[in-house]
Chains A and B, each alone.
Chain A
Amino acid sequence: MRLSGRNLKCVRGGREVFSGLDLAATEGEALAVTGPNGAGKTSLLRVLAGLLVPADGTIALEGGDAELSLPEQAHYLGHRDALKPALSVAENLSFWREFLGGKTEDAGRCLAAVGLDHAAHLPAAYLSAGQRRRLSIARLLSVRRPVWLLDEPTSALDTAGQALFAALMRDHLASGGLIVAATHLPLGIDARDLRMGGAA
């Protein structure tokens, strides 16, 4: 499997965020997108996730499921956690597990993997920022998707959480997945660096 983008250009609100960007990542490889604030890291991830239409350039995923598009084979972990405060931790996770579909894992085991099994029946409104992030990570585990698009995945996590997430990312890479992560902090895994330029 190989994810590649050629000559990507992104324009938001009439302002060019980046242009002429090439990227490539193969199976088992992590790409760390770094750069100053406003360099377009989030925009790049949203372009890859199909949530922004690139002004120019092409994106291709070779060796994936030919029936499915890249966004349909990808997990997107954004700034916003996609959690409903009115639902419990377990309900939030099992909704995404059922809605996203495909190959799924046992929800209880995923919660245990991120250290939230003790809080399964707590409404998500009572979770801390780090716990919310852990619950979002459990979503990545509960549904099997080969491509992970992560936007500042470790920002709210404590040291133990960061180590835990690094281990989970390593497992994902070892099982043939690939990761594109925008980050300021070290991810804790071997990753190729994609440096994006300064703000235009």
Chain B
Amino acid sequence: MSALAALIRRDIKIALRVGGGALIGVLFFLTVTVLMPFAVGPDLALLSRLGPAILWLGALLASLLTLDRLFTADHEDGSLDLIVMSRTPLELACAAKALAHWIAAGLPLIVATPVLGLLLNLDGTATLAVAATLLAGTPALTFTGMIGAALAVTLHRGGLLLAVLVLPLSIPVLIFGVAASQAAISGPLPFGTPFSILCALSLASLVIGPFAAAASLRHGLD
């Protein structure tokens, strides 16, 4: 256990230091959301209707932006070799890395959501709903994205490939995330229905992601 805790601590520390990925993701999220009202125009009703979708898209792209470095950085400096050789099962090490990435890059997005909700004319309930769906849904983005990140190690220079591989997998998360937010704002569906499916997607990816990523890393060793 202490090995996994050490791995999580290290990855968070690196992400938060200068040149780490945590701040880049939040800044990107901020940029996308701030630009949107300028592009859509001053129609407040339209803006609040689009709000949840804009926030979700921003969060999806921001998490994708930093995810491709999840394993390639460790691969390039040789750390991945030692992680593969170690006594910690590779599946658990992958899960720990994804968890660290979510804490460093995913949580700040959720924290920033209330501020950005103001820019999109979302009221308190709507902001809360979007934040709740992001909290439930972003782990799914990280843990499915991890599979693509592991494949990117195998296929050298797979940064662009990551987007192509991961985006289709994240479509269900996007659909149910936005649906749950809309349900909380305007109905007619109860909030619980799409939200439960969103939680189920997260839980499933929590299980599948580490195994798929570890298998891909083992297969791709060279």
**From B18, which residue of chain A is reached at the shortest CB distance?**
A86
Within 8 A of B (CB), among A66-112: 68, 71-72, 74, 76, 78-84, 86-87, 91, 95-96, 98-102
Q: Determine whether B43 belongs to the interface, using a CB cutoff of 8 Å to chain A.
A: no
Q: How many residues of B contact A (CB 8 A)?
A: 27
**From A95, which residue of chain B is reached at the shortest CB distance?**
B10
* Complex contact B87–A68 (CB within 8 A): yes
A83 to B74, CA, bound (A): 9
* Complex contact A86–B82 (CB within 8 A): no
A84 to B19, CA, bound (A): 12
Residues from chain B with a CB closer than 8 A to the CB of A52 are 221-222
**From A50, which residue of chain B is reached at the shortest CB distance?**
B85
Residues from chain B with a CB closer than 8 A to the CB of A71 are 84-85
* Complex contact A95–B86 (CB within 8 A): no
* Complex contact A84–B6 (CB within 8 A): no
How many A-B pairs have beta carbons closer than 8 Å: the answer is 80
* Complex contact A78–B81 (CB within 8 A): yes
Q: Determine whether A192 belongs to the interface, using a CB cutoff of 8 Å to chain B.
A: no
A87 to B83, CA, bound (A): 17
Quote the shortest CB–CB distance from A155 to chain B (angstroms). 14
Q: Determine whether A12 belongs to the interface, using a CB cutoff of 8 Å to chain B.
A: yes
Residues from chain B with a CB closer than 8 A to the CB of A86 are 13-14, 17-20
Residues from chain B with a CB closer than 8 A to the CB of A81 are 77-78
A79 to B221, CA, bound (A): 16
* Complex contact A99–B81 (CB within 8 A): no
Contact of B85 among A74, A83, A102 (CB under 8 A): A74
Q: Determine whether B193 belongs to the interface, using a CB cutoff of 8 Å to chain A.
A: no
- A contact residues, range: 20 to 34
Q: Determine whether B24 belongs to the interface, using a CB cutoff of 8 Å to chain A.
A: no
A102 to B17, CA, bound (A): 29
Chain A, residues 48-78, CB within 8 Å of chain B (1/0): the string is: 0111110000000000000010011010101
A99 to B19, CA, bound (A): 23
**From A80, which residue of chain B is reached at the shortest CB distance?**
B78
Quote the shortest CB–CB distance from A146 to chain B (angstroms). 14
* Complex contact B79–A84 (CB within 8 A): yes
Quote the shortest CB–CB distance from A156 to chain B (angstroms). 14
Residues from chain A with a CB closer than 8 A to the CB of B84 are 50-51, 71
Residues from chain A with a CB closer than 8 A to the CB of B77 are 80-84
Q: Determine whether B186 belongs to the interface, using a CB cutoff of 8 Å to chain A.
A: no
Residues from chain B with a CB closer than 8 A to the CB of A76 are 81-82, 85
Additional 6 contacts, C-beta under 8 A, given A51-B85, A86-B19: A50-B84, A72-B85, A74-B85, A80-B77, A96-B82, A102-B87
B residues apposed to A, CB below 8 Å: 2-3, 5-7, 9-10, 13-14, 17-20, 76-79, 81-88, 221-222
A-B contact pairs, 27 of them (CB 8 A): A49-B81, A50-B84, A50-B85, A51-B85, A68-B87, A71-B84, A79-B78, A81-B78, A82-B77, A82-B79, A82-B81, A84-B10, A84-B14, A86-B14, A86-B18, A86-B20, A87-B13, A91-B10, A91-B13, A99-B6, A99-B7, A99-B10, A99-B88, A100-B3, A100-B86, A101-B88, A102-B87
